[in-house]
Amino acid sequence: MVCARFVLLGSTARTTGTIQVYELNGSELNKVVESEKPTSVKCGTFGSSSLIDRQLATGDFKGNLHIWDLEKLSVPVFSAIAHDSIINAIDGCGGLGIGYGAPEMVTGGRDGRVCVWDQRQKDDPVIAFEPESREAARDCWTVAFGNSYNDEERCVLAGYDNGDIKLFDLRTCNVRWETSTDNGVCGIQFDRKDIKMNKCVATTLESKFHVFDLRTQHPEKGFACLTEKMSHGSTIWGVKHLPQNREIFTVLGGDGSLSLYKYNYPEQRSLKDMEGKAYGIVGKVNLLSSAIMSTQPINCFDWSPDKEGLAVMGSFDQCVRVVIITKLHKQ
Amino acid sequence: MVVFKSPPSWLSHSEFDEFNDITYDKIQSYTNLSKLKRLERFMREEGFVQTADIARQRILEHGGIDPQCLEPCLSSSEVADVLQSIQSWQDDIKGKDAELQKLQNSKSSNLSDGASGGFSEIRKACPQVMESDGSRTDGKDKRRSKKDIRSGREYYEGWDQYVSQWEKENVTQEEIKETYAAKSLPKETGAQKSKRKESTLEAKPLIEREWLAHREREKGNDLFKAKEFSSSLKAYNRAIGMYKDSAALYANRAAVHLKMNRYEEAYADCCEALTLEPTNPKVLMRRAKASLEMSEPAKALIDLQESLRFDPTNEETIRLKRNVEDALKKNSTSNIALPDGRRLAIEDVESIGSETRKQKNLLEKDEQEDSQLMEDEWRVKGNTYFAEKNFQKACDCYNKGLTFAPNSVRLLCNKSLSELKLENYVAAEMDASKALAIDSHCIKAFHHRGLARRALGKLEEAIEDLQEVLRAVPGERTVAAELDVMQELIDGQRLLPKREGPMIIEEIHEDVAQEHHDENIIKGNSNHFQTLSKHSESQDNSLAAGNMDAYKDDIHGRTSSIKGASSSRETSSKPMGSAEASVIFEEACKDRKHLQIQKCFPAKDFVVGRTNAINENGHGDKLHLQVQECPFSEETTQENIELGHSQGNFCVCDLKRRSSHALQAKNRECNEKQRDEALKERLRGNEFYNVGDIAAAIDCYSKSLELDQTIAATYANRALCHLKLKEPAKAEDDCTLAIQLEPKNSKAYFRRATSRKEMEDIEGALEDLKMFLSLCPNDKMVHSLIKELEGQRHRQRKENRSNEQVTLPYDASANLVISSTTVSEILENPYKWRTSSFPAIPRSAVEFERSLLDLLKQPLVLKEYIQAIKTNLYSNIFKEDLSARILKLVIVFMKENHLLFQCKDMLDILQGFTKVNRFQIAVMLLDKQGKEALQELFRYLMTATGDSAADTDCLRCKYFCS
C-alpha cells in the first residue's frame, strides 16, 4: 500500500465498532485516526480500491457492507445491507492493481450466502450464491478471490463451517468444484489473486490445513490435495501467502503460534490417467519456522506488500503486534 | 489424540508401519537423526507424548537440535540490521506515501469539477444496461436460489459495453458522427481493448505504475522459479509496459529470454538494463551469455571481464569466461583462412589482451625473480624425491616452495599429485582446485583433481574435470578410458537411488557406439595388464598365472565382441583398421598358449588400437614412435613392430577386398544409415525425457522404432515413458517386446514389474521381479519391493476371503432402517460405509450439532453415534454452548426412535445433559415442539421403567416437565 500504516478493525466493550489507523514509526506505533461505528466491525479489505483512493471496505455484525474513505470516516462512501447477520469474511479484487477486471468485493455471511459486490452498483449484489434452503444454510466463514488473470475470468473460494469448500466461477456463474474437509474451514486463500489458479491453502478447526493444486482439474478427482496436520492440536485460524513469494505462507495457530511454511512443487505437476485425462500432483510443504507469539489464538495477520517480511497481526489477547520475519528471500 | 489410519504425507509406508510398533529398545538403537525427528513428530501428533519425549531425548543425545525449540533466534547485530533496514524502508516509503496523498487530494478536489465525472456516471449507467437486458428483476426479490443467479457474463458484458460507450463519449468531443455509428457495436474488438488498457495505464500516475510494475515483476519471478517461462515473460512485458525505468525488470526479462533461447532479445534487454544500471555484474554476464550464443565471443569476453571486475568470485562467470576463451581460441585458429570483419576484430581483442598481459608480466617479473628462484629450487628437489617415490618428502619440498611462491601453479599441481600418491585425496583435491583458481587452463590440475575426486567418490565432478582435460587434449586416450569407466560407475550408481523416485533413462550403447566403448574398455584393461604384467615379472610366475587366467576369459569375451564390431565396421568407409584388428586378434588367440605372449597380448591390443588410429590418419611412419612409447620390455616392442609390418600387408589385402565388396557395402551402408537415424531419434528421445517432455520422448522413440525395430533399449525406454504417463498397459507391451528381443534385459523386466504392479497384477509383477533378481541378484530395492508385493498379495487374498464371509453387523430392525443401502453396496465399498456409520466423537457443540443434522436421516447410525459419546463427557463437549436447539434435536430424535433405545440408555443421556452448564436455560428455551416431545418421551419412560420410576420422576423435575 506504499505506506507504513495499517488499519485495525474491531469491537469495543460496548459492542460498538471501531476503525483505527496506526502508523509505524521506528519501533513505535502511532494512532493516526480513530472512529467509532454503531456496530462491531468484523472484517475489511482494501482489495477493491485503487492505490490512490485507498478506500476500506468493511463488513459488520449486522450484515452491513460499507466502504470508507479513511480521510473522512464519518460517512461511508458506499453502503449496502449485504447479509442477514454477521459478515464473516470479505475480500476485494480489481483494485490495487491486483487482478484485472472490475473492482469487486466478495462477502461471506452467517446466512450462508456468498455475494459479489461492485461499488458502482448500489443495493444489489452483482452475483449471489445462496444455499438452496434457509434451514440447511451453513455459516460461510471465509471467502477469497483468485484466478483473476484477465478481464473476464475470476473465481471465488468459500469455506463453510461444516468443512465444505466451494469454488465459484464468476464468469460461468456456477460452482466449479466443491469438496469437503473434516472440520470447519476457518481460512482460505489463493496463493495469488492475479494469476491463473495455481494453488490454494485452506485451514480448518482441529489443526489441519489443506493445500490444493488448482492447476489441473480432473473431471472426477477434482484437484490434488495435500493435508498437513500441525502438532498443537488447536484451530488454525487462517493462512496468508507472502506477497513477494507465493510459495511461502504463514498459518495462524490457535495456540498463539505463527508457523511459516514453504510449498515445494513436485517434479511433474500433472500426469495423465488411464483415459488420458490429466490430473494434478501435489507437492510437499516444509515447516520453515514456528514461534509462539501470544498465549491466545492469533486470528488475523497481514503481510506488508512493500516490505518483505513485515507483517501485522491481531490476537485474542487484545494486542496488535507488528512483526518482521527475516531471511525470507533465502528460502 | 488423532490416530492416523494411513501415514501422513511426510512419512513413508514402511516407516509408518515401523513407528506403529515401536519399542523403547528400538528407539535407543536408532542413530539416524532425521528418522528420529520424524518419529518424534509422529508420536507427538498421535498423542504419545512419552514416546515422543524418549525420541527427543535420543535426538539430544546425538547432538541434534531440540525439535521442540523451533523458535529462531537472531544475534543482536542481525536484529540491529533488520531494524536499520526497516527504518530506511520507512523513510523511503514516506516520500512515496506523501506523493500518493497529494494525488488523492488533487483528485478529490477535482471531483467536483467533473474530471472524474466518468466514474460517477458509471454507477448510474450500470443498472441501466442491466435493465435494458431485461434480466434484472425487482429489487425486493434479492434472494434468489442458486439456479436463478443473474449471469456474471451478462454483468461483465454490460460493463464492457458501458466502458466502450464511455470511451466513445470521450471521443465524441472530437468526432460526434462516428460515435453514433459505433454505438450499435455490442462489443469492443481486441485492439480497442488493448488500447483502452494502455490509455488507462498512461493515465495512472508514475508512482502507481511503478508499484504495479513491481507487483508484476514479483509475479514474473515466481513464474520464472516455477519454470513457466512464457507466462513469466508476459508478466515482465506487462511490467515493462507500465514502468520503463527499472534495470531489474530488463535484467529479469533477459534471463527469461536466455532460458527460452531467444538470444537476440536477451541481448537487447541486457543493453537496456545496462544503460540504466551500467555496473550490474549479473546483467553483464547474461549479455555475455547471449553474445556467446550469437557466436560473438569477443563481445562476451569484454562483458565477462567487466562482470568479474564487479563480482570476482562468481563461479558461473568464471566458468563462462573459460568457455568463451576456448571458443575464441578455436575461432582464431580454425578461421584464419576466412578473415572477415568480425573474426579480425576477435584477433585484435586477443592480441591486445596478450599485450597487456605481457606488459604486466614484465613489470612484475623483477619483483618475482627472487622468489621464483627459490620456488624452482624446491620444485626440482621435490621432483627428484617424487621420482624416487618418496612422496612424503616430495610433498614437504613442494610446501616449502609454496611458501615462497604461493601462486605457483606448477608447485600446486605437483603437490596434488604427490598427495594423490599418498592417498591423501582431500588435500589433493584442494591443491588442484587452488591451482585451477590461479590458472583455469591448467590441464594437469584438472587431471589431478579429477583423479582425487574420483577417489573421493565425487564421480560427477570428476567426470567434469576429466572432460575438461579431454577438451584441451582430445587425444589423451587414457583419460578417455578413465572417463568411460567412471561414466559406467555413475550409471550403476544412479540405478539404485533413482528408482525410488523418477526413473532415469540409461543409455544402452550398441553397434557404432559400442565399438568405441569396447575399445576404451580394452584400453582400460590393458592398463590393468601393464601393472599386472610388471607384477608377475617381479613375483613368482605361477601366482600371476592364476590372475592371468581370470583376465584371459574376460579378454576372450571382449575379442569376440570386437570381432563383431569390426565386421560391422568393414562396411563403413574406413575398414582397414578393424579388419586388421580382427586378423590380429585371431592371431593373438592362437598364441595365447604361451604365457609370455599372454602378458603382451593386452599390450598388443593397446598398440593395435593406436596403430589403427594412425593408419587411418595415413601417417604410417609414426607407428614406430608410438610403439616405442609403449612401456614394455624390448622383446614386446620388437614384436609390436613386427605386427606393424604385418599390418602393412593386411592393408594391401584389404584394398583388394574393399573393391570386390564395394557393392555389398553400399547396401549395408543404407541399413547403417537407417540405424544411425534410429539411434539419433532415440538419443533425441532421451534428451526429451531428461527435460521432462515425456510425450515428445515417446514420439521420438516411436520414430526410432519405425526405422529400426531390433533395439530392445528403445522399447525399454518407451516403456519407461509410458510408465511415467501412467499408462501401464502400454508400458507392459513395450517391455514384453524388449524382453523378446533381448531376454536378458533386466531393466525391461523391472519396468514390466512396475507396470504390472500398477495394473495390480501382483503375480505377474512378482514373476518379473524374480527374473530381474536372477539377472542382478544384488539389488536391495528389488528385494524390499518383492517383500512389499508379497505382503500385498497376502492381504488381497485375506480380503477376498473376509469379503466372502462378511455378514451384516446389524440386526433385523436395523435392516428396515437402512434398507436403502443394500448389502452389495456395503460389500463394494466397506470403507465408505464404515466412515459414514461412525463419525468421530465430537469435541464441541458445533460438531455434535453438525453430525446430528447430517445423520438425522440415518437413525440407526445416529443412535450409535449418540451412544458412543459417554454421558460423563457431555460437560466437556458442550462447555457453555449447549443450546435449546441441540437439546430439542436430541429429544425429538429419541422420542421418534424410542424403540431403538433401551430405556436405561435414554435416561442416562437425559441425565447426562442435566450436568452440562447452562442446561437449565436450554431447557427453558425449548420451543413448543421440543416441550411436547419431552413430555411424550417421559410418559413413555415412566411406563416403561415401572419400578425405578422414582428416578425418572426426579429427572423429569430437572427438565421442568410436569
Q: Tens of pLDDT along B532-586? A: 444 444 443 443 344 444 444 444 444 444 444 444 333 333 333 444 444 444 4
The alpha carbon of B175 is separated from its chain's Cα centroid by a whole number of angstroms, namely 59
Q: Would you say residue B923 has pLDDT above 50?
A: yes
B212 CB near a chain A CB, below 8 Å?
yes
Cα–Cα distance for residue pair B601/A104, rounded to 1 Å: 85
A128 CB near a chain B CB, below 8 Å?
yes
Q: Would you say residue B136 has pLDDT above 80?
A: no
Model pLDDT for residues B669-701, shown as the tens digit of each residue: 666 777 777 788 778 777 777 777 777 788 888
Tell me how crowded residue A161 is: count the other CB atoms within 10 A of its CB.
22
What pLDDT is stored for residue B600 in this prediction? Answer: 39
Q: Please, are residues B908 and B941 in contact by the beta-carbon 8 Å criterion?
A: no
What pLDDT is stored for residue A4 in this prediction? Answer: 79
Q: Would you say residue A90 has pLDDT above 90?
A: yes
A26, B94: Cβ pair inside 8 Å?
no
- Cβ burial A99-133 (10 Å sphere, 16+ → b, else e): bbbbbbbbbbbbbbbbbbbbbbbeebbbbbbbbee
**φ and ψ at A42, to 5 degrees?**
-100, -40
Q: Would you say residue B422 has pLDDT above 80?
A: no
Max mean pLDDT among B183-197, B711-725, B825-839 falls in: B711-725
Model pLDDT for residues B265-274, shown as the tens digit of each residue: 888 888 888 8
A268 CB near a chain B CB, below 8 Å?
yes
Q: Is B98 exposed, middle or buried (0-12, 13-18, 19+ CB in 10 A)?
A: exposed
Max mean pLDDT among A102-106, A325-329, B723-727 falls in: A102-106
A36 to chain B, closest Cα gap in Å: 24
Cα–Cα distance for residue pair B854/B835, rounded to 1 Å: 13
Query: A259 or B308: whose pLDDT is higher?
Result: A259
Beta carbons within 8 Å of B340's beta carbon, 6+ residues apart: none
Cα–Cα distance for residue pair B789/B761, rounded to 1 Å: 10
Model pLDDT for residues A48-71, shown as the tens digit of each residue: 887 777 889 999 998 889 999 888
B140 CB near a chain A CB, below 8 Å?
no
Interface test with B, best of A25, A51, A193 (most B CBs within 10 A): A51
Cα–Cα distance for residue pair A301/A187, rounded to 1 Å: 11
A310-315/A298-303 β-pairing: antiparallel
Query: A317 or B502: whose pLDDT is higher?
Result: A317
Closest CA to A213 of A275, A285, A158: A285
Q: How far is CA B304 from CA B247, B274, B285, B357, B960, in A?
A: 19, 14, 6, 17, 91
pTM reported for the whole predicted model: 0.44
The three grid cell numbers given for residue A42, joined into one nine-digit string: 468484523
Model pLDDT for residues A207-224, shown as the tens digit of each residue: 889 999 988 888 888 899
What pLDDT is stored for residue A106 in this prediction? Answer: 92
A41-45/A28-37 β-pairing: unpaired
Q: Which of residues 827-866 of B touch A (CB under 8 A)?
A: 840, 843, 846-847, 850
B814 to chain A, closest Cα gap in Å: 27
What pLDDT is stored for residue B958 in this prediction? Answer: 81
Beta carbons within 8 Å of B951's beta carbon, 6+ residues apart: B907, B945
Query: B582 or B160: whose pLDDT is higher?
Result: B160
What pLDDT is stored for residue A97 in this prediction? Answer: 58
A178 CB near a chain B CB, below 8 Å?
no
B93, A3: Cβ pair inside 8 Å?
yes
Q: Is B531 exposed, middle or buried (0-12, 13-18, 19+ CB in 10 A)?
A: exposed
SS3 A298: strand
Residue with cell 531467444: B262
Half-sphere exposure of A288 (CA within 13 A, CB side): 18
A306 CB near a chain B CB, below 8 Å?
yes
The three grid cell numbers given for residue B824, joined into one nine-digit string: 452389495
Residue with cell 473434516: A182
A195 CB near a chain B CB, below 8 Å?
yes
High-pLDDT (> 70) share of chain B, %: 55
Query: A18 or B83: whose pLDDT is higher?
Result: A18
Rounded to the nearest 5 degrees, what angle is found at the Cα of B310, between the Cα atoms of B305 and B313? 85
Interface test with B, best of A5, A28, A52 (most B CBs within 10 A): A52
Q: Which of residues 496-535 of B touch A (CB under 8 A)?
A: 501-502
Closest CA to B868 of B841, B850, B847, B894: B841
SS3 A208: strand
Beta carbons within 8 Å of A37's beta carbon, 6+ residues apart: A16, A17, A18, A19, A60
Radius of gyration of chain A (CA): 19
Q: What is the mean pLDDT of chain B?
A: 64
SS3 B803: helix
Q: Which of residues 140-159 of A touch B (CB under 8 A)?
A: 151-152
What pLDDT is stored for residue B161 in this prediction? Answer: 55
Q: Would you say residue A8 has pLDDT above 80?
A: yes
Beta carbons within 8 Å of B216's beta carbon, 6+ residues apart: B235, B236, B238, B239, B242
B24 to chain A, closest Cα gap in Å: 22
A161, B846: Cβ pair inside 8 Å?
yes
**φ and ψ at B679, to 5 degrees?**
-65, -45
Q: Please, are residues B952 and B908 in contact by the beta-carbon 8 Å criterion?
A: no
Cα–Cα distance for residue pair B912/B924, rounded to 1 Å: 17
B146, A122: Cβ pair inside 8 Å?
no
Least confident of A123-137, B224-238, B645-659: B645-659
A164 CB near a chain B CB, below 8 Å?
no
Model pLDDT for residues B208-223, shown as the tens digit of each residue: 777 777 778 888 888 8
Cα–Cα distance for residue pair B702/B949, rounded to 1 Å: 85
**φ and ψ at A324, to 5 degrees?**
-125, 135
What pLDDT is stored for residue B589 in this prediction? Answer: 43
Rounded to the nearest 5 degrees, what angle is found at the Cα of B367, between the Cα atoms of B365 and B373? 80
The three grid cell numbers given for residue B203, joined into one nine-digit string: 493515465
Give B322-339 as a DSSP string: HHHHHHHHHHHHHTTTS-
Q: Would you say residue A189 has pLDDT above 90?
A: yes
B139, A227: Cβ pair inside 8 Å?
no
Cα–Cα distance for residue pair A273/A275, rounded to 1 Å: 5
Q: Between helices B443-456 and B425-438, what is the axis angle to 10°?
A: 150
Residue with cell 510437499: A284
Provide, as residue numbers in chain B, all residues whose Cβ is less than 8 Å from the Cβ of A184.
846
Q: Please, are residues A95 and B212 in contact by the beta-carbon 8 Å criterion?
A: no
Q: Which of residues 711-750 of B touch A (CB under 8 A)?
A: 724-727, 729
B149, A162: Cβ pair inside 8 Å?
no
Beta carbons within 8 Å of B776's beta carbon, 6+ residues apart: B746, B782
DSSP B127: H
N- to C-terminal Cα separation, chain B: 42
B157 CB near a chain A CB, below 8 Å?
no
Q: Would you say residue A258 has pLDDT above 70?
A: yes
* B839 to chain A: closest CA residue: A182
pLDDT band at B894 (very low <50, low <70, confident <90, very high): confident
B628 to chain A, closest Cα gap in Å: 55
Give B163-176 as a DSSP string: HHHHHHHHHHTT-H
Least confident of A107-116, A285-294, B534-543: B534-543
The three grid cell numbers given for residue B457, joined into one nine-digit string: 567418490
Closest CA to B42 of B62, B71, B13, B72: B13
The three grid cell numbers given for residue A3, joined into one nine-digit string: 505506506
Q: Is the dihedral of CA A31, A37, A43, A44 positive or negative?
A: negative
Q: Is the dihedral of CA A69, A73, A79, A85 positive or negative?
A: positive
The three grid cell numbers given for residue B238, joined into one nine-digit string: 506487462
Beta carbons within 8 Å of B10's beta carbon, 6+ residues apart: A284, B38, B41
Cα–Cα distance for residue pair B159/B129, rounded to 1 Å: 8
For residue A250, the surrounding DSSP H or E stretch is strand A245-253
| Single-letter amino acid code for the residue at B584 | I
Give A45-108 as a DSSP string: E-TTS-TTT-EEEEEETTSEEEEEETTBTTS-SEEEE--SS-EEEEEEESSTT-SSSS-EEEEE
Query: B399 or A2: whose pLDDT is higher?
Result: B399
Q: Please, are residues B754 and B723 in contact by the beta-carbon 8 Å criterion?
A: yes
Q: Please, are residues B929 and B884 in contact by the beta-carbon 8 Å criterion?
A: no
